[in-house]
Amino acid sequence: MKGNETMKRYAILTVGKTHSGKTTFARELEQYMSNSLVIDQDNHAAFINKHYGKLMPTSGPNTLKYTLTHTIVDYAVHETNLHMIICNSNRSRKGREELLSYFRNKGFDTIIVNFDIPDAVLQERVKRTTRGTEIFRSASSFDEVLARQQADNYNSDAAVPVVGEADDLFTIRQENDVPFIIQEICNLIE
């Protein structure tokens, strides 16, 4: 930074169903953006389940996980100059609006990376997964999570991101799109 010039910061939100590649993408993007931090709620859920399972809400939203995530995000926003890569499903339009508004109010530019991977591909990935289930509170398998998310497409506020929702929107439809989208984001940030 030169003089009083402030560095532009970005908040990048991933949106997609389980096993669509959000975490892999976020970790890869973080490697190309040295001044960035991945915030992954699955890590927070696993930590809470392992160390504070007795505090886990038994019904309704996992407010403990959301509080932990909010605390980490708030600290990173106020105490660092890092770009934020928010790696959650972020499928709720209302939830995204709140998150995007929070970052805009803190001076961040916003980017959504939507993972529009065909359900057949996701079902195959879920069958082959080696991911642990320690992040679960109300599901017993990733098959169940995916089935819920597929049903959500028809009966909840789960919504595909639209142009104008964030400052920039990118869509990944297949694995081959990842390097191009990472390069596009890095070009924006430079």
Could you read off the pLDDT of 137-183 as tens digits, one per residue?
Answer: 667 778 787 778 777 765 556 688 889 999 999 999 999 999 999 99
Domain span at 98: 9-189
**pLDDT tens by residue, 88-113:** 877 788 888 999 999 999 999 999 99
Domain count, the chain: 1
Model pLDDT, residue 22? 93
Model pLDDT, residue 3? 39
Residue 126 has pLDDT above 90, yes or no: no
Structure tokens at 117: 């991977």
Model pLDDT, residue 64? 87
**Partners of 11 in beta bridges:** 84, 110
Residue 4 lies in a domain: no
Q: Give me the CATH number covering residue 151.
A: 3.40.50.300
**pLDDT tens by residue, 31-73:** 999 899 999 988 888 898 889 988 887 777 778 888 999 999 9
More confident: 20 or 137: 20
Residue 16 lies in a domain: yes
Q: Minimal CA–CA distance to 159: which of 66, 96, 98?
A: 96
Residue 124 lies in a domain: yes
Residue 3 lies in a domain: no
Tell me if residue 173 falls in helix, strand or coil.
coil
C-beta separation of 18 from 149 below 8 A: yes
